């Protein structure tokens, strides 16, 4: 189980732009529940500094001078399955993230530097990822529209909004509160969504639905 949100969360920052890395470090340091224990600028430095069990969350730039943050994240998680990962990209590119197998995407979040400029958003995502959630950049999700002719495109407007909130990592109660509907209505909408997308109703249904949303929307 990833680090509890109530404990001190040990964070590794891997970012090649030193000024941006320092800004992130200073911002995170203001939160008493987060400790930056590793600061690296390359894949090589990160592999040397991040040992299994030494870090709770790795904040990784996708574009690094000697490699790729996604590949680095995969190797770090395989060495330490309890590690949570937040990847950052300077571009609104979610396709490389979608290439990660669903079985390896637990406690793995994606943020765009271009759209998620808020320190509060970054800290919130770090904490939620440390607690085991997978969070997709909320601004990218808000801009997403159904791809015509896709299974997601066949959903009603209300079903699409429910699915968008599922992709944001919202609970049924949060979805109900956001849309001003009853909790049992959310359950009914989810059942209809899973059926329309051809997803078996089970404990992985929300993950599968999120993947369908990401793969069949335009941003």
- Kindly compute the dihedral angle of the four CA atoms of residues 130, 217, 174, 187, in this order, to the nearest 10 degrees: -120
Q: Where are the domains of the chain?
A: 9-137, 144-218
Please write the tens of the pLDDT for every residue from 89-121.
876 666 667 677 766 777 888 888 776 567 888
Task: Give the model confidence (pLDDT) of 57-95 as tens digits.
Answer: 999 999 899 998 989 999 999 999 999 999 988 766 666
Mean pLDDT (whole number) for 50-62: 95
- Contact assessment for residue 41 and residue 18, using Cβ atoms and an 8 Å cutoff: yes
CATH class, range 144-218 = mainly alpha
Contact 110, 89 (CB under 8 A): yes
Residue appearing with tokens 């968008």: 164
What confidence tens digit (pLDDT) does each residue in 12-41 have? 999 999 998 999 999 888 899 999 999 999
pLDDT band at 139 (very low <50, low <70, confident <90, very high): confident
Q: What is the pLDDT of residues 147-179, one digit of tens each?
A: 999 999 999 999 999 999 998 878 899 999 999
CA 190 to chain centre: 21
CATH dotted code for 9-137: 3.40.50.2300
Q: Are strands 217-218 and 145-146 parallel, antiparallel or unpaired?
A: antiparallel
**125 and 11 Cβ atoms separated by less than 8 Å:** no
For the chain, the 3-state helix, strand and coil shares in percent, each to the nearest 5, are 45, 15, 35
Residue 6 has pLDDT above 60, yes or no: no
Listed residue (62, 103, 107) closest to 82, CA to CA: 107
pLDDT at residue 181 greater than cutoff 70? yes
What pLDDT, on the 0 to 100 scale, is given for residue 4? 43
Helix (H, G, I), strand (E, B) or coil at 34: strand
Q: What is the structure's pLDDT at 144?
A: 87
| pTM tops 0.85, yes or no | no
Q: How far is CA 46 from CA 55, 84, 92, 166, 204, in A?
A: 11, 15, 24, 32, 32
- Reported as a pLDDT band with limits 50, 70 and 90, residue 214 is confident
């Amino acid at each position: 189980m990833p680090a509890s949100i109530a404990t001190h969360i040990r964070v590794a920052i891997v970012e090649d732009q030193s000024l941006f890395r320092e800004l992130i470090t200073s911002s995170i340091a203001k939160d008493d529940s987060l400790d930056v224990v590793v600061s690296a600028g390359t894949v090589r430095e990160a592999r040397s500094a991040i040992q299994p069990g030494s870090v709770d969350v790795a904040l990784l730039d996708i574009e690094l001078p000697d490699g790729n943050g996604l590949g680095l994240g995969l190797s770090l998680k395989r060495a330490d399955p309890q590690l949570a990962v937040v990847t950052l990209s300077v571009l609104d590119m979610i396709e490389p993230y979608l290439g990660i197998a669903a079985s390896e995407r637990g406690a793995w979040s994606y943020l765009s530097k271009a759209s998620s400029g808020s320190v509060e958003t970054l800290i919130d995502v770090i904490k939620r990822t440390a607690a085991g959630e997978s969070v997709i950049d909320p601004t990218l999700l808000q801009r997403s529209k159904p791809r015509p002719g896709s299974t997601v495109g066949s959903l009603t407007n209300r079903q699409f909004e429910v699915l968008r909130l599922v992709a944001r990592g919202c609970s049924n109660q949060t979805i109900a509160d956001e849309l001003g509907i009853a909790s049992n209505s959310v359950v009914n909408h989810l059942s209809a969504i899973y059926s329309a997308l051809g997803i078996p109703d089970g404990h992985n249904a929300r993950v599968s639905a999120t993947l369908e949303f990401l793969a069949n929307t335009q941003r």
